[in-house]
Amino acid sequence: MSKIVVTGGLGFIGSHTVVELQSQGFEVVVIDNLSNSSIEVLDGIESISGKKPIFSAIDLREKAAVQEFFKEHNDVAGVIHFAASKAVGESVHNPLLYYENNLGALVYILQELEKKEDAHFIFSSSCTVYGQAEVMPIAETTPIQPALSPYGNTKQIGEEIISDVVKVSNINAILLRYFNPIGSHPSAEIGELPIGVPQNLVPFITQTGMGLRAELSVYGNDYPTVDGTCVRDYIHVVDLAKAHVIALQRLLGKKNIEPLEIFNLGTGKGSSVLEVITAFEKVSGQKLPYKIVGRREGDVTEAYANTDKANTVLGWKTVSTLEEAMASAWKWEQKIRTSTEFSAKKV
């Protein structure tokens, strides 16, 4: 079966995608520098799929290392590129780190794929490319607004780089603009594993539920939304991982209509921060302590997807509810707090 490279393959979305790829018979090579992940995730992947992927810890920001990797793995059929820094708030305070990590690595990978006669590339993009869209839900044809953070800007620039490259190369690519991944594998063998301070809402909720944090900070309740808190489209990570495999199969099967295609991946439904808290309280059976604080720089008011294109063209749609996703996230949080499996790093 085809060999697929997954960069950032021990991260949250990457690890779940590796599991789905292996379940479909693909040979997977994971690249991850472990800067925001743990080597123990390999064991979790193996326990689910019965096979441990090939692993490389190269730094994708080092051009020579990337060149050497693709010389060694010259039979790669496709690349799914997750590896990137992804925290909106951090990017505002450290923009150069984000431009180096998110764009330098992308260029080096594309330079290697450009050498191949036939290359397939899946790019982990984001709904942040839309900025604060004027109309909901957000479709692929929604105009791109100026990015509200350096992180969002790296995704916009990354898409533009790929668009330019496919016009003059044998690379076929799909950009997957996904919304807010949450949850974990139902086995609780892999899940979101924030190193140090979380960058996403749900780990903050589950850590607060475990008593690791005194209370959850909710950033702003004066937005023009159903309850004043920000609204996002929260998608179960397993549903999201399956979409990556379907997109890859589309490229490998030469079913793509254009050399570059774009799909939104979400549930099509927006949920507010307070609604996510309520879902957690329902599945956990406990009240979550939280406080309202000021707005956070870089946050958009609301963002949820129009998924018609992915539903019809890819034949993909989400199956998990918000409560199911929160239940799996809670199960995962409870596991990692009561086991020594991830003792190598503070999580």
Residues 6+ apart with CB under 8 A from 168: none
On whether the CB atoms of residues 244 and 20 are closer than 8 A, the answer is yes
Query: What secondary structure does DSSP assign to 1-50, as a single string?
Result: --EEEEETTTSHHHHHHHHHHHHTT-EEEEE---SSS-TTHHHHHHHHHS
Dist. CA 62–CA 50, nearest whole Å? 32
Q: Is 151 a catalytic residue?
A: yes
> Of 98, 130, 151, 178, which one is the catalytic site residue?
151
| Residue 244 to residues 9, 130, 314, Cα–Cα distance (Å) | 13, 21, 10
How far, in Å, CA of 104 to CA of 132, rounded?
26
For 176, residues 6+ apart whose C-beta sits below 8 A from its C-beta are 122, 123, 124, 125, 243, 244, 247, 263, 265
SS3 176: strand
The token pair at 347 is: 């999580």
What residues act catalytically? 151
